[in-house]
Chain A
Amino acid sequence: MAKTKSAMRRKETMYGYIFVMPWIIGFLAFTAGPLLFSLFASFTDYNITTQMDFVGAENYQGLFTEDGLFWTSLWNTLYYVLFSVPLTTMGAIFLSALLNQDVPGIRVFRTLYYLPAVLSGVGVYLLWMQLLDPGTGMINLILGWFGIDGPNWLFDPEWTKPSLIFMKLWSVGGAMLLYLASMQGVSKTLYEAAEIDGANTFRQFFHITLPMITPVIFFDVVTSLIGGFQIFQEAYVMSSNGEGGPANSLLFYNLYMWRQAFENFNMGYAMAMSWILFIIVFILTMINLKLAPRWVHYEGGDNR
């Protein structure tokens, strides 16, 4: 009896590995292998066609001490993350609070607000380039109705990053839906009790809804932080010549890395850049995890 049981367990283990084998192969070939290679290559001078010349920490040293564009791109990326993450998070929470009410046509509203979240790619970037066009675009036209002389948006280094942040705000629907789902999971009895105590809608929002959805806020902030540091396509398509202009104002970290890797073929240098980004994102995520217990509420409701 004991023998057949262990034989069965061995059979299950064999089956288990057969089933997850595609992932194991993919992980080794497309993630773990490349990671190891990249870590090694970041200490070499390498352009794909030549031999890898081991140069020690030279790439890293060069980035920190000699490369002004490295700091520019890091600053641009930080600026973008610093503004886009809080704005989109607050926007999404505000919208989901509106959409969590019983209003005529609420289903239509929910669908409409989510739509931009599924639209992405060059078509959307072109649309926004036209909307933001200072002369022929819609946004300055509308600002004009209110007597506001709109800026030059993508042509003015001061306004290029805000332009991309506005575009990001338009597609806040994905996060909005996350918040909506968690708001609908908040127990009704909490609100009923608050009502008896005479708490108005705003108090209820700040004292019940907001604390109850903190796990989702945490999830959203962590993932949008990781995502924000990787901004690339928008800048590639919408900046002048795809080079991060004007005046390097859209030269984000990944765009600069891309240019080093695939325009200059400084592969080792670019891979050193990618590891620095990895470390920055990792540290920020860890800080988030450490701070989480102070404000994330993990009891009651349906959060587990």
Chain B
Amino acid sequence: MLKLINFVLLAAGSLMILSPLWWMFSTSLKTMAEVMSFPPTFFPESWNWSNYIRTWEAAPFTQYTINTLVITTLVVIGNVLSNSFIAYGFAKIPFRGRNVLFAIVLATMMIPGFVTLIPQYVLFAKLGWVNTYYPLIVPAFFGSAFNIFLLRQFYMTIPNELIEAAKMEGASHFYIWRKIGLPLTKPAIATVAIFSFNGAWNDFLGPLLYLNDENLYTLQIGLQVFKGQLNTQWNYLMAGSLLVLLPVIIIFFFFQKYFIQGINLQSGGK
């Protein structure tokens, strides 16, 4: 009996979770007249796939996509390389001052973003980096607290004997990191890669702050401008939103286990 109630609750909840996404899809196919009709309809009267083509052509979305892909790719590469390298140092090399430094890593997670955002802007402005991609990409190559923490948890599971044995045979830490560390932490690296992809793809604040030139805009900023131009043409706005969200949805369904791994590690490496 309880099981049945549970199932019914879960099914009802699923409707609440999914109906906004269905509504986005449905609205994106409607004509403007149908969008404005009252009461609104759950299913489009006719499926106007051409809305998608119109939306895509109404703003330079192709350019925005290329820009976003360039930034996202570089951010993912930077995050994977730097965090994996740094985390290896924190996990597998015993050195003086390591615990103090790692405590600082964890402490930086508690600093509200805006406290560093404004002075960072001043720094990048003085460097002449405003209106370039540098402020969005360069910091990714210097590690981030959460990812260092996550990857360090993973490296901790590699037995020290393995590292010692490799050292006995004359391998350097660089070699061990590349040949043993990287392959054995692949699942965690996939997690970092996917979270950084999502973070960079959805980043709004960074591009909003640093990019003024329309040719440099990312999809998020493009969509925001598009919203201002179209105001209440919900069919086009929903088509645009869905197109921007689609890569994230697809990646989610293909790689869900890595999302879950990341979440589990967050709760203390279970």
Contacts and interface: CB of A to CB of B under 8 A. Distances in A.
Interface centre among A23, A31, A41 (most CB of B within 10 A): A23
Interface stretch (B43-51, B52-60, B69-77, B241-249): B241-249
Contacts of B139: 26, 30
B116 A31 contact: yes
B236 to A, nearest CB: 10
A55 interface: no
A41 B119 contact: yes
Given A19-B85, A41-B119, A120-B202, A24 B112 contact: no
Nearest to B266: A178
Interface in B133-180: 139, 141-143, 148, 172-173, 177
Given A116-B17, A130-B234, A24 B101 contact: yes
A250 interface: no
A71 interface: no
A130 B238 contact: yes
A141 B267 contact: no
Contact of B89 (A20, A35, A109, A278): A20
A164 interface: no
Nearest to A123: B241
B111 A118 contact: no
A112 interface: yes
Interface string A122-143: 1110111011010111100100
B242 A37 contact: no
19 contacts: A22-B141, A24-B101, A25-B142, A27-B108, A37-B123, A98-B13, A114-B256, A119-B245, A121-B223, A121-B244, A127-B23, A130-B24, A170-B16, A232-B205, A257-B114, A277-B112, A277-B114, A285-B110, A302-B270
Interface of B: 2-3, 6-7, 9-10, 13-14, 16-21, 23-24, 27, 35-36, 38-40, 82, 85-86, 88-90, 93-96, 98, 101, 104-105, 108, 110-123, 125, 139, 141-143, 148, 172-173, 177, 198, 201-205, 208-209, 220, 223-224, 227, 232, 234, 237-238, 240-242, 244-245, 248-249, 252-253, 256, 259-260, 263-264, 266-268, 270
